[in-house]
């Protein structure tokens, strides 16, 4: 058992969660002093936001151009990804406003972090008009955006950089791409090291949250987790099920066909570990190698349905918990930024917190420290999030293959019937 606990980060986080609740209930004053553990963990993640977002967006733009060159399949793939991602993002907003998971928590943001509070109130003061908001997106210097951690400024630089990369000679662009991929690899490796500290961060934040806000706040977080699980299941059954039905296949048999891979994802909260098996199984359904080889790897970065639902639901949950009213302008900003930032957040545990922090930073009145509220449950949410992402990409492959007549429907139906 001890060996299993040492190996499994998920079990460590689970133990830290229950230990945090127990300590928070039993030792009130001591638990309030544990706040820096959660804050420190969040700060370590925030440290990597700007460079990771820059690398992900630049490589995404450069990579998308390669996809388009592969012809109709690439164009249809990107169109499908954008449409389904948009549906998932909007679904997250609707669920948040219908079921109001954060309403009633009444978290006082002044108690979360005074330093963060002053930062965001200054930014809120700076952005009264649309023109000021737009001018604020333009950094004073190239490095200022990274130094200040202003994610909209980093996005602007990344988009200009990515587009310019497509316009320079191919041999030079490839050198830059390789360098960025190497940097990206290093940043995610650093993220992997930081994520090992998750149990400490979770313990500190849960103990503090329990002592400061009482057990009710954690029960409300439990409601958020259940709501997210229900939303993802409904998304898979109704939305992805309806899309798959157009190709003549049944969603329940389809999901059952991938049950072994989904079990691995349930245990690791990461879909990377099953990529080879997923591609092999899709080829067995009678889908051409070229379609599987294009859609699945691209979908891992561009088509994250579960993550998209979580992105908008999580941001609005934090706003509701802190009694912050979001305007329609704020919601549109969240939606548009989420469409960009959700690309490339695949498979790596902890990247969800990075992208969520990036999205939070776009709305001046939302404190990034609000992430502390979600830190304790992010691991539970990550399980169903990864499963939903995986199913979404498998469905996408079948749909694109169906459009391009790259699938043997008789073989697919026969295999799905045998397997179930």
Provide the pLDDT for residue 388: 95
Give the whole-number percent of the chain exceeding pLDDT 70.
Answer: 84
Provide the pLDDT for residue 123: 42
- DSSP letter, residue 111: G
Provide the pLDDT for residue 396: 96
Provide the pLDDT for residue 240: 97
Q: By C-alpha distance, which of 366, 292, 405 is closest to 121?
A: 366
Contact at 8 Å (CB) between 279 and 408?
no
What is the arithmetic mean of pLDDT over 112-131?
Answer: 45
Instruction: Using the structure block, give the residue that is written with the tokens 């009710």.
Output: 216
Stretch among 122-131, 152-161, 242-251, 270-279 having the lowest mean pLDDT: 122-131
Q: Quick: pLDDT tens for 388-416.
A: 999 999 999 999 999 988 889 889 999 98
Distances (CA, A) of 219 to 226, 234, 272, 290: 11, 23, 31, 47
Provide the pLDDT for residue 380: 76
Q: Which region, left, alpha or beta, applies to residue 68 given φ > 0 means left and ψ of -120 to 50 means alpha? A: alpha
Q: Quick: pLDDT tens for 13-50.
A: 778 888 988 998 888 889 888 888 888 887 887 788 78
Please, what are the domains in the chain? Answer: 9-419 (1.10.3860)
Q: What helix, strand, coil percent values describe the chain, rounded to 5? A: 80, 0, 20
Q: Quick: pLDDT tens for 63-77.
A: 766 555 556 777 888
Stretch among 37-41, 150-154, 282-286, 321-325 having the lowest mean pLDDT: 150-154
Q: Is the pLDDT of residue 278 over 90?
A: no
DSSP secondary structure of 234-292: HIIIIIIHHHHHTTT--HHHHHHHTHHHHHHHHHHS-SGGGHHHHHHHHHHTTB-HHHH
What is the arithmetic mean of pLDDT over 87-110?
Answer: 87
Distance CA 275, CA 261 (A): 9
Classify burial at 79, counting beta carbons within 10 Å of its beta carbon; exposed 0-12, middle 13-18, buried 19 or more: exposed
Distance CA 141, CA 322 (A): 34
Distance CA 201, CA 207 (A): 10
- Residue 383 CB neighbour total at 10 angstroms: 20
Q: Is the pLDDT of residue 125 over 90?
A: no
Angle at the Cα of 121 from the Cα atoms of 213 and 329, rounded to 5 degrees: 95
Q: Quick: pLDDT tens for 322-339.
A: 888 888 888 888 888 888
Q: By C-alpha distance, which of 166, 185, 209 is closest to 55?
A: 185
Backbone angles phi, psi at 287, to 5 degrees: -95, 135
Classify burial at 198, counting beta carbons within 10 Å of its beta carbon; exposed 0-12, middle 13-18, buried 19 or more: buried
Q: Quick: pLDDT tens for 162-202.
A: 888 888 898 999 999 999 999 988 987 887 788 788 788 88
Instruction: Using the structure block, give the residue that is written with the tokens 């993550």.
Output: 307
Distance CA 90, CA 110 (A): 30
């Amino acid at each position: 058992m001890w060996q299993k606990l040492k190996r499994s980060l998920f079990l460590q986080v689970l133990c830290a969660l229950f230990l945090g609740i127990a300590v928070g209930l039993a030792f009130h004053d001591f638990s309030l002093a544990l706040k820096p553990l959660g804050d420190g963990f969040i700060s370590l993640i925030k440290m990597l936001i700007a460079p990771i977002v820059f690398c992900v967006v630049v490589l995404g733009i450069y990579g998308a151009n390669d996809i388009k060159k592969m012809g109709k399949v690439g164009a249809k793939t990107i169109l499908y990804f954008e449409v389904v991602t948009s549906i998932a993002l909007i679904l997250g907003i609707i669920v948040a406003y219908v079921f109001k998971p954060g309403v009633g928590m009444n978290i006082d943001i002044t108690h979360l972090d005074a330093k963060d509070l002053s930062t965001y109130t200054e930014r809120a003061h700076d952005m009264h008009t649309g023109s000021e908001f737009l001018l604020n997106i333009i950094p004073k210097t190239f490095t200022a955006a990274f130094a200040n951690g202003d994610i909209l400024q980093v996005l602007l630089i990344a988009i200009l950089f990515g587009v310019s990369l497509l316009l320079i000679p191919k041999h030079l662009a490839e050198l830059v791409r390789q360098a960025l991929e190497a940097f990206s690899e290093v940043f995610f490796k650093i993220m992997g090291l930081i994520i090992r500290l998750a149990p400490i961060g979770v313990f500190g934040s849960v103990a503090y949250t329990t002592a400061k806000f009482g057990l009710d706040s954690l029960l409300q977080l439990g409601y958020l987790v259940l709501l997210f699980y229900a939303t993802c299941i409904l998304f898979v059954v109704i939305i992805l099920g309806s899309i798959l039905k157009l190709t003549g296949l049944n969603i329940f048999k389809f999901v059952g066909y991938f049950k072994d891979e989904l079990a691995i994802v349930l245990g690791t909260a990461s879909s990377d570990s099953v990529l080879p098996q997923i591609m092999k199984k899709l080829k067995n359904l009678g889908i051409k190698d070229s379609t599987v080889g294009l859609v699945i790897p691209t979908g891992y970065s561009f088509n994250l349905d579960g993550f998209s639902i979580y992105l908008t639901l999580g941001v609005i949950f934090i706003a509701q918990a802190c009694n912050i009213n979001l305007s329609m302008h704020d919601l549109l900003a969240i939606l548009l930024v989420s469409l960009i930032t959700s690309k490339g957040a695949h498979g790596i545990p902890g990247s969800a917190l990075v992208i969520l922090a990036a999205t939070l930073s776009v709305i001046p009145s939302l404190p990034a420290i609000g992430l502390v509220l979600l830190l304790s449950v992010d691991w539970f949410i990550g399980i169903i999030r990864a499963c939903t992402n995986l199913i979404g990409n498998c469905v996408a492959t079948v749909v694109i293959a169906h459009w391009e007549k790259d699938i043997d429907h008789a073989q697919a139906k026969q295999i799905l019937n045998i397997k179930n």
